[in-house]
Amino acid sequence: MRIDIITVIPEILTGPLNQSILKRAQEKGLVKIQIHNLRDYSVDKHRKVDDYPFGGQAGMVLQCEPIDRAISSLKEQRDYDEIIYTSPDGEKFNQPIANQLSLYENLIILCGHYKGIDYRIREHLITREISIGDYVLTGGELAAAVMSDAIVRLLPGAIGDEQSALSDSFQDNLLAPPVYTRPADYKGWQVPEILLSGHEAKIREWEFQQSLERTRQLRPDLLD
Ligand code: ADE
Protein backbone atom coordinates (compact mmCIF):
# COMPACT_ATOMS: atom_id res chain seq x y z
CA MET A 1 0.00 0.00 0.00
CA ARG A 2 1.05 3.58 -0.61
CA ILE A 3 -0.20 6.75 1.11
CA ASP A 4 0.82 10.15 -0.30
CA ILE A 5 0.11 13.02 2.08
CA ILE A 6 0.15 16.60 0.77
CA THR A 7 0.64 19.29 3.41
CA VAL A 8 2.00 22.77 4.06
CA ILE A 9 3.51 21.62 7.38
CA PRO A 10 5.31 18.29 6.82
CA GLU A 11 6.96 18.56 10.27
CA ILE A 12 3.63 17.83 12.02
CA LEU A 13 3.47 14.44 10.28
CA THR A 14 7.03 13.16 10.40
CA GLY A 15 6.92 12.48 14.17
CA PRO A 16 3.71 10.44 14.45
CA LEU A 17 4.29 8.50 11.22
CA ASN A 18 7.81 7.38 12.06
CA GLN A 19 7.36 5.65 15.40
CA SER A 20 6.37 2.22 16.64
CA ILE A 21 4.02 0.14 14.47
CA LEU A 22 3.87 2.69 11.63
CA LYS A 23 7.64 2.84 11.48
CA ARG A 24 7.98 -0.96 11.47
CA ALA A 25 5.25 -1.37 8.83
CA GLN A 26 7.23 0.95 6.54
CA GLU A 27 10.51 -0.84 7.28
CA LYS A 28 8.85 -4.18 6.47
CA GLY A 29 7.66 -2.73 3.14
CA LEU A 30 3.95 -3.13 3.99
CA VAL A 31 3.30 0.54 3.29
CA LYS A 32 5.09 3.51 1.81
CA ILE A 33 4.01 6.81 3.36
CA GLN A 34 5.32 9.74 1.34
CA ILE A 35 4.89 13.26 2.67
CA HIS A 36 4.86 16.07 0.08
CA ASN A 37 5.40 19.73 0.90
CA LEU A 38 2.77 21.69 -1.03
CA ARG A 39 5.25 24.57 -1.33
CA ASP A 40 7.38 22.39 -3.63
CA TYR A 41 4.55 22.73 -6.17
CA SER A 42 4.22 26.49 -5.89
CA VAL A 43 4.94 28.54 -9.01
CA ASP A 44 5.64 31.61 -6.89
CA LYS A 45 9.27 32.60 -6.25
CA HIS A 46 8.50 32.90 -2.54
CA ARG A 47 6.86 29.43 -2.57
CA LYS A 48 3.51 31.02 -1.69
CA VAL A 49 0.56 28.59 -1.76
CA ASP A 50 -2.28 30.69 -0.31
CA ASP A 51 -4.14 33.93 -0.98
CA TYR A 52 -6.99 36.04 0.36
CA PRO A 53 -10.51 34.69 -0.17
CA PHE A 54 -12.76 36.33 -2.76
CA GLY A 55 -15.64 38.02 -0.93
CA GLY A 56 -13.55 39.74 1.69
CA GLN A 57 -13.73 37.31 4.65
CA ALA A 58 -10.80 36.97 7.03
CA GLY A 59 -8.18 34.23 6.70
CA MET A 60 -6.23 32.67 3.86
CA VAL A 61 -7.20 29.98 1.36
CA LEU A 62 -4.91 27.40 -0.25
CA GLN A 63 -4.79 28.08 -3.99
CA CYS A 64 -5.85 25.76 -6.81
CA GLU A 65 -2.63 25.72 -8.77
CA PRO A 66 -0.12 24.18 -6.32
CA ILE A 67 -2.68 21.58 -5.21
CA ASP A 68 -3.58 20.72 -8.80
CA ARG A 69 0.10 20.43 -9.71
CA ALA A 70 0.82 18.19 -6.70
CA ILE A 71 -2.13 15.86 -7.34
CA SER A 72 -1.56 15.76 -11.12
CA SER A 73 2.10 14.88 -10.66
CA LEU A 74 1.14 11.96 -8.38
CA LYS A 75 -1.66 10.79 -10.71
CA GLU A 76 0.81 10.70 -13.61
CA GLN A 77 2.84 8.14 -11.68
CA ARG A 78 0.06 5.75 -10.59
CA ASP A 79 -3.70 5.34 -10.24
CA TYR A 80 -5.25 6.34 -6.94
CA ASP A 81 -8.21 4.63 -5.28
CA GLU A 82 -9.24 7.76 -3.38
CA ILE A 83 -8.08 11.37 -3.15
CA ILE A 84 -9.10 12.32 0.35
CA TYR A 85 -9.43 15.83 1.77
CA THR A 86 -9.35 16.14 5.55
CA SER A 87 -12.11 18.49 6.61
CA PRO A 88 -14.55 18.93 9.49
CA ASP A 89 -17.31 18.90 6.80
CA GLY A 90 -16.51 15.33 5.75
CA GLU A 91 -18.06 11.97 6.62
CA LYS A 92 -17.06 10.94 10.13
CA PHE A 93 -14.03 8.59 10.21
CA ASN A 94 -14.68 5.26 11.94
CA GLN A 95 -13.49 1.65 11.98
CA PRO A 96 -15.46 0.50 8.89
CA ILE A 97 -13.93 3.37 6.87
CA ALA A 98 -10.45 2.45 8.16
CA ASN A 99 -11.08 -1.18 7.18
CA GLN A 100 -12.21 -0.18 3.69
CA LEU A 101 -9.28 2.20 3.09
CA SER A 102 -6.79 -0.44 4.32
CA LEU A 103 -7.80 -2.63 1.36
CA TYR A 104 -6.78 0.00 -1.20
CA GLU A 105 -3.51 0.15 -3.08
CA ASN A 106 -2.88 3.92 -3.37
CA LEU A 107 -4.31 6.85 -1.42
CA ILE A 108 -3.71 10.58 -1.50
CA ILE A 109 -4.56 12.57 1.62
CA LEU A 110 -4.66 16.34 1.13
CA CYS A 111 -4.45 18.27 4.39
CA GLY A 112 -6.44 21.48 4.56
CA HIS A 113 -5.02 24.53 6.29
CA TYR A 114 -5.82 28.14 7.16
CA LYS A 115 -9.40 28.81 6.11
CA GLY A 116 -9.43 25.82 3.80
CA ILE A 117 -8.73 25.10 0.16
CA ASP A 118 -10.19 26.67 -2.97
CA TYR A 119 -13.56 24.97 -3.36
CA ARG A 120 -12.90 24.10 -7.02
CA ILE A 121 -10.33 21.52 -5.89
CA ARG A 122 -13.01 19.85 -3.78
CA GLU A 123 -15.40 19.86 -6.72
CA HIS A 124 -13.02 18.61 -9.39
CA LEU A 125 -10.21 16.57 -7.80
CA ILE A 126 -11.24 15.30 -4.37
CA THR A 127 -13.07 11.96 -4.30
CA ARG A 128 -13.80 11.80 -0.59
CA GLU A 129 -13.88 14.21 2.36
CA ILE A 130 -13.27 12.80 5.83
CA SER A 131 -13.54 14.38 9.29
CA ILE A 132 -12.07 12.79 12.41
CA GLY A 133 -14.68 14.36 14.68
CA ASP A 134 -16.99 17.28 15.29
CA TYR A 135 -14.37 19.84 16.28
CA VAL A 136 -12.13 22.14 14.27
CA LEU A 137 -8.37 21.54 14.14
CA THR A 138 -5.90 24.16 12.92
CA GLY A 139 -5.12 21.92 9.96
CA GLY A 140 -5.71 18.49 8.52
CA GLU A 141 -2.28 17.09 9.40
CA LEU A 142 -3.29 15.50 12.70
CA ALA A 143 -6.38 14.06 11.00
CA ALA A 144 -4.15 12.57 8.27
CA ALA A 145 -1.90 11.07 10.97
CA VAL A 146 -4.90 9.59 12.82
CA MET A 147 -6.30 8.04 9.63
CA SER A 148 -2.92 6.69 8.50
CA ASP A 149 -2.36 5.09 11.90
CA ALA A 150 -5.79 3.44 11.95
CA ILE A 151 -5.32 2.18 8.36
CA VAL A 152 -1.72 0.93 8.55
CA ARG A 153 -2.16 -1.11 11.72
CA LEU A 154 -4.78 -3.16 9.84
CA LEU A 155 -2.36 -4.23 7.10
CA PRO A 156 -1.55 -7.95 7.41
CA GLY A 157 1.78 -8.29 9.25
CA ALA A 158 1.72 -4.77 10.76
CA ILE A 159 0.79 -6.05 14.21
CA GLY A 160 2.62 -9.06 15.63
CA ASP A 161 -0.45 -10.99 16.63
CA GLU A 162 -2.75 -11.02 13.58
CA GLN A 163 -5.70 -11.63 15.87
CA SER A 164 -5.21 -8.49 17.88
CA ALA A 165 -6.30 -5.99 15.22
CA LEU A 166 -9.47 -8.02 14.73
CA SER A 167 -10.28 -8.13 18.43
CA ASP A 168 -10.02 -4.33 18.84
CA SER A 169 -12.82 -2.23 20.17
CA PHE A 170 -15.30 -1.37 17.37
CA GLN A 171 -14.14 -4.13 15.04
CA ASP A 172 -17.44 -5.95 15.69
CA ASN A 173 -19.29 -2.90 17.02
CA LEU A 174 -18.41 -3.92 20.59
CA LEU A 175 -15.95 -2.34 23.00
CA ALA A 176 -12.98 -4.53 23.91
CA PRO A 177 -13.18 -6.59 27.12
CA PRO A 178 -10.89 -5.61 30.04
CA VAL A 179 -7.35 -7.01 29.96
CA TYR A 180 -4.99 -7.84 32.84
CA THR A 181 -1.39 -8.97 33.28
CA ARG A 182 0.87 -10.26 36.07
CA PRO A 183 0.75 -10.16 39.04
CA ALA A 184 -2.67 -11.76 39.57
CA ASP A 185 -2.90 -10.02 42.93
CA TYR A 186 -1.66 -6.43 43.19
CA LYS A 187 -2.22 -4.80 46.60
CA GLY A 188 -5.22 -7.10 47.00
CA TRP A 189 -6.67 -6.02 43.61
CA GLN A 190 -7.56 -9.35 42.05
CA VAL A 191 -7.63 -10.43 38.43
CA PRO A 192 -11.02 -12.09 37.68
CA GLU A 193 -10.76 -15.78 38.63
CA ILE A 194 -12.05 -17.02 35.28
CA LEU A 195 -8.96 -15.66 33.46
CA LEU A 196 -6.70 -17.83 35.60
CA SER A 197 -8.80 -20.97 35.11
CA GLY A 198 -7.18 -22.06 31.83
CA HIS A 199 -10.68 -22.84 30.53
CA GLU A 200 -10.42 -21.40 27.00
CA ALA A 201 -14.11 -21.61 25.99
CA LYS A 202 -15.37 -20.16 29.27
CA ILE A 203 -12.82 -17.35 29.05
CA ARG A 204 -13.95 -16.40 25.51
CA GLU A 205 -17.58 -16.42 26.68
CA TRP A 206 -16.69 -14.23 29.70
CA GLU A 207 -14.86 -11.79 27.42
CA PHE A 208 -17.83 -11.61 25.08
CA GLN A 209 -20.23 -10.92 27.97
CA GLN A 210 -17.88 -8.22 29.30
CA SER A 211 -17.71 -6.59 25.85
CA LEU A 212 -21.48 -6.64 25.58
CA GLU A 213 -21.97 -5.21 29.08
CA ARG A 214 -19.34 -2.45 28.62
CA THR A 215 -20.87 -1.50 25.27
CA ARG A 216 -24.37 -1.37 26.80
CA GLN A 217 -23.12 0.88 29.60
CA LEU A 218 -20.65 3.12 27.77
CA ARG A 219 -21.67 3.18 24.08
CA PRO A 220 -25.26 1.92 23.72
CA ASP A 221 -25.40 3.71 20.32
CA LEU A 222 -23.08 1.02 18.90
CA LEU A 223 -25.70 -1.68 19.58
CA ASP A 224 -28.48 0.09 17.62
N1 ADE B 1 -9.37 19.84 9.66
C2 ADE B 1 -9.80 20.67 10.62
N3 ADE B 1 -10.61 20.03 11.49
C4 ADE B 1 -10.70 18.75 11.06
C5 ADE B 1 -11.40 17.60 11.52
N6 ADE B 1 -12.17 17.62 12.60
N7 ADE B 1 -11.26 16.46 10.83
C8 ADE B 1 -10.49 16.42 9.72
N9 ADE B 1 -9.81 17.46 9.23
C10 ADE B 1 -9.92 18.62 9.89
Is the confidence at residue 23, as pLDDT, over 80?
Answer: yes
Instruction: Give the pLDDT confidence of 156-208 residue by residue, as tens digits.
Output: 999 987 667 766 778 789 999 999 999 999 999 999 999 999 999 999 999 99
Q: What is the mean pLDDT of the chain?
A: 95
Nearest CA to ligand 1 atom 2: 137
Ligand 1: atom nearest CA of 132 is 7
What are the beta bridge partners of residue 185? 190
Phi first, then psi: what are they for 51, rounded to 5°? -155, 170
The best mutation among 8, 9, 12, 87 to test binding of ligand 1, ranked by most ligand atoms within 8 Å of the C-beta, falls on 87
Nearest CA to ligand 1 atom 7: 131
CB 133 less than 6 A from any atom of ligand 1: yes
Q: Give the distance (Å) from ligand 1 centre to CA of residue 212.
A: 31
CB 102 less than 6 A from any atom of ligand 1: no
Q: Is 84 helix (H, G, I), strand (E, B) or coil?
A: strand
pLDDT on residue 162:
62
Q: Is 122 helix (H, G, I), strand (E, B) or coil?
A: helix
Radius of gyration of the chain (CA): 22
Q: Is 42 helix (H, G, I), strand (E, B) or coil?
A: coil
Q: What is the pTM of this model?
A: 0.94
**How far apart (Å, rounded) are the C-alpha atoms in residues 15 and 190?**
38
**How far apart (Å, rounded) are the C-alpha atoms in residues 93 and 106?**
18
